[in-house]
Amino acid sequence: MTLEAQNAGLAGRLTNVTAQFVPGKITAICGPNGAGKSTLLKLLAGLLAADAGRIEFDGGAMSDLHPRERAKVIGYLPQSAEVAWDVPVRNIVALGRIPHRDGASEPVAEAMAALDLSDLAERRALTLSGGETARMLLARVLAGEPRWILADEPFAALDLAHRERLLRQFRIEAAKGRGVVVVMHDLALARNHADRVLVLEKGRMAAMGEPEGTLSSALIEKVWGVKARWIGEPGQSALLVDPLG
């Protein structure tokens, strides 16, 4: 089930973005602040409507999918980790099953275990730290067993150990045949862990392809405006940025 943007645009935010996202792969969306990363993710999730081109799912228009069906196949994690209800963590994670109307407990338990939340199942949601809240909301996405996981900067509030655990979980989900699309600011994270990288610049596609070839020093200087170079082996690369001035 492919997910595609076909000349997709949104006035003042995105222009003529054409990209195919592949099931079983992790795709990183990168770019400077204001490049349109979150906007593209919302278009792919069906939360915003393109005013030019269209988003396609499995060969048809995303807009033709009934909202409940879209919620079954697309799991979306927003950038802001906000919770309105002070209920047990287990209850928040179980909300991921709402589109299925089955109340299945096993996917909920598996999602909580995957994100190291089992011991927090009865904790009240509003007592969690920022990192714990981020993991809880992602567990809610995983509990829905979507075909596509779309996550907007999911690593921002996580410590090093939980970041690595989440990266492993994304790889596990991709191995199950799910598509994973993640907005990332950390270029080393994208280069080392993504299968493909899409780079946006001022609302337009600057590049898309395999990480090592796409995130070149030349492209980084062009798009981000800094001189940088990569060191280290593939999969363990670090980015050195020259001091400004």
Number of H helices, E strands in the chain: 9, 12
> pTM for the complete prediction?
0.93
Which domains are delineated in the chain? 3-214 (3.40.50.300)
Tens-digit pLDDT profile for residues 132-143: 998 999 999 999
Residue 244 has a pLDDT of 65
Residue 76 CA to residue 146 CA, distance in Å, equals 9
* Mean pLDDT score across all residues of the chain: 93
Q: Give me the mean pLDDT over the 186-197 stretch.
A: 96
Please say if the pLDDT value at position 245 is more than 50. no
Are the CB atoms for 197 and 191 separated by under 8 Å?
A: yes
Residue 28 CA to residue 153 CA, distance in Å, equals 10
Q: What angle do CA 132, 133, 136 make, to 5 degrees?
A: 85
Q: Give me the mean pLDDT over the 57-70 stretch.
A: 90
Tens-digit pLDDT profile for residues 148-186: 999 999 988 788 988 888 999 999 999 999 999 999 999
Lowest-confidence segment of 90-99, 162-171, 181-190, 209-218 by average pLDDT: 162-171
Which DSSP letter does residue 103 get? -
